[in-house]
């Protein structure tokens, strides 16, 4: 499975420069942790035998991760909660789980 890349996230949030690459990568990792907490209830050890997939490698979870990167990159706390609710809906869609 191909992991969500920095280039894909930058394109999705309309960032064309490389000045913030390290920041955006940290935001991606943070969003993936937030996704894992929402979806799995914890941040698992992805290298363990029979471990669940890292959210950055699951295409169905990518849009929610991108939403959270956008929310945090734009740093609007009022909008972040709306983005988080949308991201959780995407992460939990089809799982039978509810918010």
Give how many domains the chain has, as a whole number.
Answer: 1
DSSP string of the chain, one letter each residue: -PPPPHHHHHHHTT---STTHHHHHHHHHHHHHHHHHHHHSS---TTSTTPPPPGGG-HHHHHHHHHHHHHHHHT-HHHHHHHHHHHHHHHHTTTT---
Establish if 26 belongs to a structural domain: yes
pLDDT the model gives residue 58: 87
pLDDT the model gives residue 94: 56
Mean pLDDT of 53-71: 91
Q: Which residue has the higher pLDDT, 39 or 96?
A: 39
> The domain containing residue 74 runs over which residues?
6-92
Establish if 60 belongs to a structural domain: yes
- The model's pLDDT over 65-95, given as tens digits with 9 standing for 90+, comes to 999 999 999 988 888 999 999 999 999 885 5
Establish if 84 belongs to a structural domain: yes
Establish if 55 belongs to a structural domain: yes
- The model's pLDDT over 2-30, given as tens digits with 9 standing for 90+, comes to 789 999 999 999 999 999 999 999 999 99
């Amino acid at each position: 499975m191909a992991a969500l890349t920095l280039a894909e996230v930058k394109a999705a949030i309309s960032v064309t420069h490389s000045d913030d690459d390290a920041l955006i990568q940290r935001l991606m990792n943070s969003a993936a942790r937030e996704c894992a907490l929402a979806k799995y209830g914890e941040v698992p050890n992805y290298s363990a035998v029979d471990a669940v997939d890292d959210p950055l490698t699951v295409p169905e979870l990518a849009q929610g991760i991108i939403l959270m990167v956008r929310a945090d990159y734009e740093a609007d706390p009022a909008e972040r909660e709306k983005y988080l609710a949308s991201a959780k809906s995407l992460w939990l869609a089809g799982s039978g789980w509810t918010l």
